[in-house]
A and B are shown apart, each in its own frame.
Chain A
C-alpha cells in the first residue's frame, strides 16, 4: 500500500467527519465502494416485523432443543433394558433423542444466523477493486533487507556458545514433548532370557512341576468325553488369570477317528487320540482364529482371511499368514482331565525378528513341516 494512496484527511478534517463518513473513507482506502446499501425492509413495516419474528423463531427453536438435550441427557432412562420388557422403547429412544436435540440445536442456530444476515442486516452490494500481482518491487526488496539485517546485527553469528546452547535447549524441549508418547515403548523383552514372556505362556508347567489343565472359560476342566467328534472348544490354562492371558487361548479339536492328519516334524505325539490342541492366535498379526469348518478342517482368521488346514498340521493354505499355528502338547492327568504336557515349543502369535533364533529353546528349524 505504499503507492496510489487515497488522500488521507488530516487531524482537523477527521475531527469534523461523522462516523458514517469515516467508515466510507476507510472503505475507500481499501478500494471498496458501496454500490447499493439499505435496510431489507422498511423499519417498522409488517415485512420487517415478519422477518424479525422469523429469525427469532429459529433462535428460540435452537435454544429449546439445547435445553431439551440437557434435560434428556440427564433424566431420560439410559440404562439397558432387555427385550420383552416395558422400558425397552424408552431406552432405545435415548440415543436418537440426544442426537436429534443436539443436532437440531446446532442446525437451527446456523439457520438463524444465516437468516439474520439475510433478513435483518442491511442489504448491501460492495465493489472492491482487485489488486493485481505481487507486492511492489520496492516493498519486497526492503522487507528482505530488513530481515537479513536483523539477523546480522543481532551478533548471534559469532557467538558459538549461545548458538550451541540454544540448539540444545530446543532439541531437549522437543524430546520433552516426544518422551511421554514414545518412552513407554522402550522395554527389553530379553531381560528374562529363556523366561521372556515372548516365549513362555501360562501353559508352562508350574514351578513345582504341576501340569496346567485345559479349562473352559469359566474354569471347568475338560475331559475327553466332553467333546463330540467334529467339535471344537476354546480352552484356557487352568491357572489364575488364565482366561485373560492374551497368548494362551487354545483351540481343542476332536476329529473323526478315520480322519488322517499330517503331523509336523518334531511334534509327533503332541495329540491325544483324536484330540488336537492348537494356539488360537493367528501367526499373521495375532487375531483370534476360530472360524472352524469341521468338514474341510479349515480354520479361518476373520481379520485378513488367512486359512489354516487342521488336516495338514495347521499349515497356512491361504492369506497372509506364513507360519503354522503352534501346537500344544496335551495328555491326561491322573483324574482324566486334559493337561498341557509342556509349553508350546515355539512362540505363539505374530512373528518378530528373533522368532526362531533363540538357542536355548529348540534345536531344529521351526519352519520345518511334515
Chain B
C-alpha cells in the first residue's frame, strides 16, 4: 500500500512538473513587415511579374479569378493583398476550410510590389501609412473590440472555432498593419469593417487595445490560453484536487 501511494504521489508530481515546463517554454514569434505607400509604375511592373509567376494559376490572367480555384482580385485593394501575403496565407498550398497563417513566402518589398499591382487594377481599400495605433484610446478600443471583434476572436484575442472547420485565428502574432488589413478587407469569413462603420480613429483604438492586451502582464499568473473560467476551473480542479490527494497520500504513507 505504501509503495502504491508513493508511486501515485510521484506520478502526480511529475505530471505537475510537465505542465509547468510546457507553460514556460511556450514561445511567441514576432514578425515585422514593412509597408510602403509610394506607388510608381516600376513597382506595379515588378508586382505584375510576381503575379504572373505565382498567382495567375488561381486568380486568372486579368485578376478575374478562376472558378473553384481562387476569387477575383479586382477591387479588393492593397489592404486585402497586403493582409493575405504578409500573414503567409497566400500563396495557398491547397484549398481547404480555411487558409492557415504561415511564414510569408515573399519578402516585404515583393509584398508591397504585388499589393501595388492589385491596387493599380481596380482600386479598393488601402492601409494608411501612419496613425495605425492610438495608445491613448485603449478604453474605447476595448469597448469596440468587445462589441465587434470579441464574439469570434475571444475577449483576449485568442480566437475560437466557427462552423465546419473554420475558425477565428488568434491575434497574438498580428501586427498593426495586419489588423488594419483584416478590418478593411474582411478576409475569408470575417465581415468587413469599412471606415463608415468603424472610423480610422476607432480602428486605431481597437489596434491599441489588442496590442496593449498582448503586452499586459497577466495579473492572475498563467493565462491558460485566455479562454476564461472553463479551463481555469478545469485546471483548478485537476491540479488542485490532484495536489490535495497527493498530499493526503503522502501524509498517510508517513503516519
- Name the one of B192, B194, B217 contacting A92, with C-beta atoms under 8 angstroms: B217
Q: Which of B104-112, B147-155, B170-178 touches A?
A: B147-155
Indicate whether A296 reaches chain B with its CB closer than 8 angstroms.
Answer: yes
Q: Which of A231-239, A270-278, A323-331 contacts B (4 or more CB under 8 A)?
A: A231-239
Flag A314-332 by CB within 8 Å of B: 1 or 0 each. 0000100000000000000
Residues B163 and A298 in contact, CB atoms below 8 Å apart: yes
For residue A201, CB closer than 8 A to chain B, the reply is: no
Contact segment of B42-50, B87-95, B183-191, B230-238: B183-191
A300 touching B216 by the CB < 8 A rule?
no
B229 within 8 A of partner (CB): no
Q: In the complex where A291-B151, A291-B162, A296-B163 touch, is A230 in contact with B216 (Cβ < 8 A)?
A: no
CB under 8 Å from chain B, chain A span 82-106: 82-84, 88-89, 91-96
Give the residue of B151, B196, B212 whose beta carbon is less than 8 angstroms from that of A227.
B196
Known contacts A230-B191, A291-B152; decide if A88 and B197 are in contact (CB<8 Å).
no
B: interface residue count bin: 20 to 34
Tell me how far the C-beta of B93 lies from the nearest C-beta in chain A, rounded to whole angstroms. 19
Max count, chain B CB within 10 A of own CB: residue among A82, A94, A225: A82
| Pair B196/A92 contact, Cβ less than 8 Å | no
B residues within 8 A CB of A234?
147-148
CB distance from B245 to the nearest CB of A (A): 17
A51 in contact (CB, < 8 A): no
Q: How far is the CB of B233 from chain A (nearest CB, A)?
A: 17
Q: Contact size class for A?
A: 35 or more
> How far is B186's CA from A89's CA once the two chains are assembled, in angstroms?
36
| The one of A83, A229, A230, A298 that contacts B215, using a Cβ cutoff of 8 Å | A83
A229 and B192 contact, CB distance less than 8 A: yes
B221 within 8 A of A: yes
Rounded to whole angstroms, the CA-CA distance of A115 and B72 in the bound complex is: 76
| A226-B197 in contact (CB<8A) | yes
Residues of A within 8 A of B220 (CB): 95
Question: A293 in the interface, Cβ–Cβ < 8 Å?
Answer: yes
Tell me, in angstroms, the Cα distance from A298 to B162 when the chains sit together.
10
Complex alpha-carbon distance, A300 and B216, angstroms: 30
Q: Is B134 an interface residue (CB 8 A)?
A: no
B218 within 8 A of A: yes
Q: Which residue of B lies closest to A226 (CB)?
A: B196
Question: Does B101 count as interface, using CB distance less than 8 angstroms?
Answer: no
What are 6 A-B residue pairs whose CB atoms fall within 8 Å in the complex? A82-B138, A83-B214, A92-B219, A95-B219, A95-B220, A230-B192
Which residues from chain A sit less than 8 Å from chain B, CB to CB?
A: 82-84, 88-89, 91-96, 216-217, 223, 225-234, 288, 290-296, 298, 300, 302, 307, 318
Q: Report which B residues bind A (CB closer than 8 A).
A: 135, 138, 143, 147-148, 151-152, 160, 162-163, 166, 168, 186, 188-194, 196-197, 211-221
Which 5 A-B pairs rank lowest in CB-CB distance, beginning with the nearest? A226-B196, A83-B215, A92-B217, A228-B194, A293-B189
